[in-house]
């Protein structure tokens, strides 16, 4: 039995996603296809344009058999943490045999070699990395330079190619492979070339536009135009959500919440938050008072060594009080449960297999989440399990406040919404 697993945000599901899904299926020829999908907040540190239920529904309508939720604490991390969470879910599901992801280079051997070095951390590589860090390079740059020199010295790969790993999908691809190695997972991985717009290309390109461009089009109140880039089912469900006042939700909707949260904090409070390195606490503390909105704030905080995505993620960590201490455990143990957002008729069958294979809870009914703690056969860190899961609940409860229509702003959606069956 072959089960294909993919990692997605579907924010929103567009033609490029459909194309990717079809190519992946051609490559693997699976019996089932599952996706692990970010919940209500993304790797770019933004709330999703519509909530996880609507996005899961679209995914199930367009060829995915089961949608798992990537826990908030992984969905909002950089490539390393994001991949560690996503691969963790697919691996720990116990049924996924093949993983496919997009890649610019699409050279599996190359990705594997690099991921191998990063995973095994040979002594000589560590030595060079140490020197680079001492020279004052940021960690990502020191790592790149150390890899470059290491492969050059060992003559195992083309060093110039190493220097060119810049495109986000290749960085992510390496992290996926590294995570596979880290879990000691037997899943096979495959890459496919991306088509259409770049991940971060914000300009609208018609049929094959990026999610960023589509969201921008919707923000500019041009949903009709955005539809060109969306499969019909995706357009239909998005439109239904917008009409019901459950979207579209944008980063700017968090404006006053961010300002409130930042201005409440003392400078030292920032230091406890995940991701805060030297000096950023001061910048957040001071600029949150100098700025009149969060767009202005982020422009003030921005420095060459921080990408916008990283800053937005850090802003989320502050909003949700995500501490360094907690994230150490998150990134040491991996996902402690598999939340199922929905499944198709066909997916139900796979879910049956899964339940016999897993060693972590499969949560289909969130209100039952505490019951699992009585099952002594499960291999989980109980405290981490609870805390990680409650972050998903909080993310939903706070996301609800952003719905355009006040009538939808009640919380507890995770406990009230029935699991999707299509």
Q: Is residue 288 part of the contact set for a copy of itself (CB under 8 A)?
A: yes
Cis peptide before 12 (omega within 30 of 0): yes
Q: Which residues contact 157 (CB under 8 A, 6 or more apart)?
A: 110, 113, 114, 151
The token pair at 277 is 């390195």
* Number of amino acids touching a copy of itself (CB under 8 A): 29
Region of residue 238 (left: phi > 0; alpha: psi -120 to 50; beta: else): alpha
Q: Is residue 412 part of the contact set for a copy of itself (CB under 8 A)?
A: yes
Tell which one of 134, 155, 186, 290 touches a copy of itself (CB under 8 A). 290
Q: What are the C-alpha distances in Å from 176 to residues 100, 190, 332, 339, 359?
A: 10, 11, 16, 20, 21
Which runs of consecutive H residues, i.e. helices, occur in 155-279? 159-163, 168-183, 211-219, 223-226, 232-243, 255-264, 267-271
Q: Is residue 411 part of the contact set for a copy of itself (CB under 8 A)?
A: yes
Q: Is residue 394 part of the contact set for a copy of itself (CB under 8 A)?
A: yes
Q: Is residue 293 part of the contact set for a copy of itself (CB under 8 A)?
A: yes
- Strands 66-70 vs 32-38: parallel, antiparallel or unpaired: parallel
Compare residues 277 and 390 and give the one whose CB is closer to a copy of itself.
390
Cis peptide before 248 (omega within 30 of 0): yes
Given a contact cutoff of 8 angstroms between Cβ atoms, the answer to whether 59 and 15 are in contact is no
Q: Whole-number minimum distance, CB 291 to a copy of itself, in Å?
A: 7
Backbone φ and ψ for 54, nearest 5 degrees, come out as -65, -40
Q: Is residue 18 part of the contact set for a copy of itself (CB under 8 A)?
A: no
Q: Is residue 367 part of the contact set for a copy of itself (CB under 8 A)?
A: no
Q: Is residue 291 part of the contact set for a copy of itself (CB under 8 A)?
A: yes
The region of 65-73, 127-135, 167-175, 407-415 touching a copy of itself under the rule CB under 8 A is: 407-415
Q: Is residue 76 part of the contact set for a copy of itself (CB under 8 A)?
A: no
Q: Whole-number minimum distance, CB 43 to a copy of itself, in Å?
A: 21
CA distance 226 to 248: 13
The region of 46-54, 112-120, 285-293, 330-338 touching a copy of itself under the rule CB under 8 A is: 285-293
Q: Collapsing DSSP states into helix, strand and coil, what is residue 30?
A: coil
Tell which one of 378, 397, 417, 422 touches a copy of itself (CB under 8 A). 397
Q: Is residue 259 part of the contact set for a copy of itself (CB under 8 A)?
A: yes
Region of residue 343 (left: phi > 0; alpha: psi -120 to 50; beta: else): beta
Q: Is residue 292 part of the contact set for a copy of itself (CB under 8 A)?
A: yes
Tell which one of 192, 364, 408, 422 touches a copy of itself (CB under 8 A). 408
Q: Whole-number minimum distance, CB 245 to a copy of itself, in Å?
A: 11
Tell which one of 289, 305, 348, 355 touches a copy of itself (CB under 8 A). 289
Instruction: Find tokens 């899964």 and name the residue.
Output: 354
Q: Is residue 272 part of the contact set for a copy of itself (CB under 8 A)?
A: no
Q: Is residue 244 part of the contact set for a copy of itself (CB under 8 A)?
A: no
Tell which one of 101, 125, 251, 320 touches a copy of itself (CB under 8 A). 320
Q: Collapsing DSSP states into helix, strand and coil, what is residue 212?
A: helix
CA distance 420 to 340: 9
The region of 7-15, 158-166, 189-197, 395-403 touching a copy of itself under the rule CB under 8 A is: 395-403
Tell which one of 22, 26, 260, 282 touches a copy of itself (CB under 8 A). 260
Q: Is residue 40 part of the contact set for a copy of itself (CB under 8 A)?
A: no
Using CB under 8 A as the binding rule, the residues of this chain from 321 to 340 that contact a copy of itself are 321
Q: Is residue 386 part of the contact set for a copy of itself (CB under 8 A)?
A: no
Q: HSE-up of 345 (CA within 13 Å, CB side)?
A: 0
The region of 102-110, 204-212, 232-240, 393-401 touching a copy of itself under the rule CB under 8 A is: 393-401
The token pair at 141 is 């740059």
Q: Would you list the DSSP string of 118-171?
A: HHH--HHHHHHHHHHHHTT--HHHHHHHHHHHHHHHHT-S-HHHHHTTTSHHHH
Compare residues 199 and 285 and give the one whose CB is closer to a copy of itself.
285
Residues that bind a copy of itself (CB under 8 A): 256-257, 259-261, 263-264, 266, 288-293, 319-321, 390, 394, 397-398, 401, 406-412
């Amino acid at each position: 039995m072959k089960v294909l697993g993919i990692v997605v945000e579907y924010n929103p599901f567009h033609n490029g996603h459909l194309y990717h899904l079809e190519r992946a299926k051609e490559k693997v020829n699976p019996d089932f296809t599952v996706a692990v999908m970010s919940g209500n907040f993304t790797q770019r540190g933004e709330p999703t344009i519509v909530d996880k239920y609507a996005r899961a529904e679209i995914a199930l309508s367009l060829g995915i058999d089961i949608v798992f939720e990537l826990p908030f604490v992984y969905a909002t991390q950089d490539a390393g943490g994001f991949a560690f969470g996503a691969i963790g879910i697919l691996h720990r599901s116990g049924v996924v045999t093949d993983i496919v992801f997009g890649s610019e280079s699409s050279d599996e051997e190359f990705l594997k070699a690099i991921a191998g070095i990063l995973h095994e951390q040979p002594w000589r590589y560590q030595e060079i990395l140490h020197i680079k860090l001492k020279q004052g390079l940021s960690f990502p740059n020191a790592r790149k330079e150390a890899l470059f020199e290491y492969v050059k010295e060992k003559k195992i790969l083309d060093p110039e190619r190493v220097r060119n790993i810049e495109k986000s999908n290749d960085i992510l691809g390496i992290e996926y492979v590294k995570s596979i190695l880290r879990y000691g997972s037997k899943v096979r991985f495959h890459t496919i070339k991306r088509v259409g717009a770049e991940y971060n290309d914000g300009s609208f390109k018609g049929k094959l536009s990026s999610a960023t461009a589509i969201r921008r089009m919707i923000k500019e109140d041009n949903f009709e135009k955005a539809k060109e880039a969306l499969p019909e089912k995706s357009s239909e469900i998005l439109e239904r959500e917008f009409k019901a006042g459950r979207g579209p939700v944008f980063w700017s909707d968090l404006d006053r919440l961010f300002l409130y949260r930042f201005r409440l904090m003392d400078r030292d409070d920032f230091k406890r938050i995940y991701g805060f390195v030297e000096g950023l606490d001061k910048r957040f503390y001071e600029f949150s008072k100098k700025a009149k909105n969060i767009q202005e704030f982020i422009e003030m905080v921005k420095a060459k060594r921080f990408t916008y995505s990283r800053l937005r993620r850090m802003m989320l960590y502050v909003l949700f009080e995500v501490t360094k201490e907690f994230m150490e455990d998150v990134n040491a143990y991996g996902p402690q449960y598999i939340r199922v957002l929905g499944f198709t008729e066909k997916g139900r069958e796979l879910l049956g297999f899964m339940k016999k294979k897993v060693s972590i809870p499969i949560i289909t009914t969130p209100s039952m989440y505490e019951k699992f703690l009585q099952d002594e056969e499960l291999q989980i860190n109980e405290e981490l399990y609870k805390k990680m899961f409650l972050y998903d609940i909080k993310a939903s409860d706070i996301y609800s406040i952003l719905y355009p229509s006040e009538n939808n702003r009640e919380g507890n959606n995770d406990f009230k919404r029935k699991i999707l069956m299509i």
